[in-house]
Structures are given as C-alpha cells and as structure tokens.
Structure 1
Amino acid sequence: MATTEAAENQSPAQADDGNARTRDNNRGGGGGRGRGGPGGGRDNNRGRGRGGRDDRRGGRGGDDDGEELIEKLVHINRVAKVVKGGKRFGFAALVVVGDGKGRVGFGHGKAREVPEAINKATAAAKKKMIRVPLKEGRTLHHDGKGHFGAGRVVVRSAPAGTGIIAGGPMRAVFEALGVADVVTKSVGTSNPYNMIRATFDGLTNQSSPKSVAQRRGKKVADLLGRGGQVSEAEAQAEAEAITE
C-alpha cells in the first residue's frame, strides 16, 4: 500500500523522469554486457588467431634455418652478349656452401643481376652437398689427390695448430667444410671452376677407418694396430675416439 500511495503521490513529470533513467540504465548495462561479451570474445579470438598464425610462420622459418650453413662466394664472371641494340650483360656466380661439420657442396648460377645469380648458385650448391669424413672433426684422415681437366690438387692431413694452408677457391671449400688443419697444393690451372671440381674429386676419395673396417670385415682396432707397432690398448683407445 505504501508503494502504491508513493506512486500515486508522484507527479506525471517525476514518473516520466524515473522511467527514462531506468531505460538508460538498462541500455548501459546491456550494451556493456554485449560489448564485453560477444564483442570482446571476437577481439580475443582474432588476437589469438593472428598470434597463432604468426607463431606457425615463425616455426616454419625456424625449421628452414635450423641448419646454419656457411656460404662462400668464390667467383663472379661478367659475360656480354652482342645484340642489334648493343650489349646485354649477364653474370655467373660460383658459390661454396657447407655446414662446418663435414658437409660441403658447390654450385654455379647465371642471371642478369648479381644477387639473382648468387641465389641460383646457392640453391644448386645446397642440392649437391657431399659428406666428407673428418679426423677428430678438424682434419682429413689421410692424404689424397684430385684432378679435373687441367687442374690437379694435393690435400694432406696436418697436426693441430697448422691451420688451413690453401689459397683461392680451395680455402673457401675447407672453411665451409669445417676443416681446421690441412695442407694443400694446386698444380696446373688457376681456373676456379676446375680447381673446385678437382678439390671435390680429392675429397670424395677420402675414407675413414670405420668405413674401411666395415668393408673388409675387420675391427677398427685391428686396422690401427699398424703391424704391432702400436699396443692393443692404444689401438683400442684410438678406435673408440673415431666417430666416423
């Protein structure tokens, strides 16, 4: 009854003002819930979706770059083609690529611009990488020779601290390969293409004691015994130290 009497005592203007305030409050609350609920959810979902896509892209990039490769530009040659309107210049690049852990490859590419030629050569080098067994991860297991055309090279293993004694294209190959101690000599042509091919011919002939023992059906310690010059304990320790 009190509520009814209060309502009856209110003037029409006061009643209209109260109803308007009630409607404004309802609108504000509903609007806040609407914006904070579905709208906020959409914004959050968009943020999570974009973040997820960016993470996936970053993951793919990380997989591609997971293997850090050493790229060495050995030689760039400019060639010209004479046409009716003048000369058209092109570029040929020779690149050596390696992982510094026993894998190396070389490739060459041609294009109208230098960066494109380098990219082509790098892609070709990555497809033709070979694995070379290394002794203690720093030098070759044995001496070797390689030749291609008029190019002839000699590669020799060296003790620790020797460094890379090589010049020109051969140095780039051994730096990309991860060799720290080696002695080399190039006899014949100085053409970088033939020198690189001759060097790779010598590296492909490299073999490790482990592969020789498997091929001959023997143990690595038997091969390292050297006809009784080394004790069995030393030969066994040396065999256990060989990983490739």
Structure 2
Amino acid sequence: MAEQKESRRSKKSREEQTGEWQERVIQIRRVSKVVKGGKKLSFRAVVVVGNERGQVGVGVGKANDVLGAVRKGVVDGKKHLIEVPLTKGLSVPHPMRGSGGAATVLVMPAAPGTGVIAGGAVRAVLELAGVRNALAKQLGSRNPLNNARATIDALRRMRTFEQVAEDRGIDVRRLFSQ
C-alpha cells in the first residue's frame, strides 16, 4: 500500500518536473481595497494551464504579490481541467458557441495549415489545448477572464462524431451519408 502511494507521488512529481503542463498568464491586475489605515494592494492573475494534448483549464489567483497570485492561478487552473476533443488535423470537430459572463466566443474548425486565428485569451486557451487549426471570434465583451471562460465552455460542449453517432444509436458512416 505504501509503495502505491510512493509511486503515485513520484509519478506526479515527475510530471511536474518534466514540464508537461504549460502555463500562460493572460492578465495581471492590481486590486486595491480601502481599509481603515489606507489602501491595501493585492494582485489578481488569470492563468491558462494546458498540456497541448487535449487538456486545458483556466484559473484565477489572488495574493499580495504577483508570483503568489500566478502560483495560485496555476493550482486553480489544474483543478478545473477539461478534455478537448481534437480531430486528426488538430482542429475542433465542429463550430460551437460558448458563453461566460457577458462574453460569447464562437470557435470554428479550419483547414490544415490555417493556424489559430483568434485574439487574446481565446488564442491562449486554444493553443494550450493543442488546437493547431481553428478560427475564433470574441463577441460581447473584451474582458479576458470572461472570454477565456467562454472558450472553455465552447470546448467543453464539443463532441466527436463517434459520440454523436453513439448518442443517436447509429453507425458513424451512416452519420455522414445523410
């Protein structure tokens, strides 16, 4: 039993040491709170964490220093990881609209060789998810945190053709022949 715990711990530490997860800071904000003695400054960091193989998460960290906020954001991002269905051409399977707060993001597949055509937080989320060919448009808000959450929502709701065929109870070939 103790050996299993050791092997899990060592495996987890090896993954973190090898740098499997990549982090990208989207935004750092200085936040001030007015208290009795004056103003208290703290920082908020919005971080995207992904392994470029279909897993990605967005986290927010708050601390009195920037490094502490980024560290907390990475931990929060790893807690909220999602699986992204990718096609063979490293694109998304179909167009999808996601929302987060007042932001709406439209994510569409693109032909191989197109690259990621997106802006700001949406680009960071798609790249760290492992998407290589996609088009995206931010609608409704310019807030990076809401746009990142809207992108995560769109990616979470995507399904592969196999999943759709299984839900409908038909063969994948029949799905394309209709």
TM-score (structure 2 length as normaliser): 0.88
Separation in structure 1 between the aligned mates of residue 23 and residue 79 of structure 2, nearest angstrom: 14
* C-alpha displacement of 1:197: 1.5
Separation in structure 1 between the aligned mates of residue 109 and residue 132 of structure 2, nearest angstrom: 10
* C-alpha displacement of 1:210: 1.0
Matched residue SS, 1:65: helix
Matched residue SS, 2:33: strand
Aligned amino acid, residue 164 of structure 2: V
Separation in structure 2 between the aligned mates of residue 128 and residue 149 of structure 1, nearest angstrom: 17
Q: Deviations over 1:132-186 (max 9, x none)?
A: 1011151000011112232111111000111110011001101100111100111
Query: Of 93, 98, 119, which aligns to 2:45?
Result: 93
**1:128-167 alignment, distance < 5 Å:** 128-136=80-88, 138-167=90-119
The aligned counterpart of 1:204 is 156
Query: Of 168, 175, 178, which aligns to 1:223?
Result: 175
TM-score (structure 1 length as normaliser): 0.65
Bigger share in strand: 2
Matched residue SS, 1:224: helix
Matched residue SS, 2:123: helix
Paired residues, what number?
170
Does the 8 Å contact 1:89/1:112 carry over to 2? Answer: yes
Aligned-residue CA RMSD (Å) = 1.9
Bigger share in helix: 1
**Shift in alpha-carbon separation, 1:180–1:63, aligned structure 2, 3 A:** closer
Unmatched tracts of structure 1, length 5 or more: 1-55, 228-244
Query: Of 69, 93, 109, which aligns to 2:21?
Result: 69
Relative contact order (alpha carbons < 8 A, sep ≥ 6): 1 or 2 greater? Answer: 2
**Shift in alpha-carbon separation, 1:116–1:161, aligned structure 2, 3 A:** same
Separation in structure 2 between the aligned mates of residue 67 and residue 162 of structure 1, nearest angstrom: 27
Aligned amino acid, residue 195 of structure 1: N
**Shift in alpha-carbon separation, 1:206–1:151, aligned structure 2, 3 A:** same
**Shift in alpha-carbon separation, 1:66–1:223, aligned structure 2, 3 A:** farther
Separation in structure 2 between the aligned mates of residue 221 and residue 124 of structure 1, nearest angstrom: 40
Matched residue SS, 1:80: strand
Matched residue SS, 2:49: strand
- The share of aligned pairs that are identical, in percent, is 42
Matched residue SS, 1:200: helix
Matched residue SS, 2:163: helix
Greater than 3 Å deviation, 4+ residue runs:
63-67
Separation in structure 2 between the aligned mates of residue 106 and residue 94 of structure 1, nearest angstrom: 7
Q: Deviations over 1:72-115 (max 9, x none)?
A: 10111101122333321100010011110111101101000111
The aligned counterpart of 1:169 is 121
